[in-house]
Amino acid sequence: MHSSISTHLTIEIEQEDDGSWIAEVLEIPGVLAYGETQQQAISHVQALALRVIADKREHREMRVAESEYEI
């Protein structure tokens, strides 16, 4: 089964009770990352999303639109 994802991905960010930050890509289940700062969490989740997309492409589990991803 092949699935496609949008070229625009939504990152949701929340601050945890301990002061750390968590960022999640809403369109890709399970893609979330923590950071000490908001920007660090965003950077980590962007990198993870790209690795997940690359892995899914490598295994032909996802089609990619012609335009570039904007994360």
Give per-residue pLDDT as tens, 1-35. 444 555 689 999 999 999 999 999 999 999 999 99
Q: How many domains does the chain have?
A: 1
Residue 69 lies in a domain: no
Residue 40 lies in a domain: yes
| pTM for the structure as a whole | 0.74
Instruction: List the domain range (segments joined by +) for residue 32.
Output: 3-63
Per-residue pLDDT band at 60 (split at 50, 70, 90): confident
Q: Is the pLDDT of residue 53 over 50?
A: yes
CA pair distance 71, 43, nearest whole angstrom: 10
Q: What's 50's domain CATH number?
A: 3.30.160
Q: Is the pLDDT of residue 36 over 80?
A: yes
Cβ-count burial of 53 within 10 angstroms (0-12 exposed, 13-18 middle, 19+ buried)? buried
Per-residue pLDDT band at 59 (split at 50, 70, 90): confident
Residue 48 lies in a domain: yes
Residue 68 lies in a domain: no
Residue 55 lies in a domain: yes
Q: Is 71 or 16 the better-scoring residue by pLDDT?
A: 16
Residue 51 pairs in a beta bridge with: none
CA pair distance 66, 47, nearest whole angstrom: 20
Residue 71 lies in a domain: no
Residue 70 lies in a domain: no
Cα–Cα separations (whole angstroms), residue 27 to 35, 40, 47: 20, 20, 15
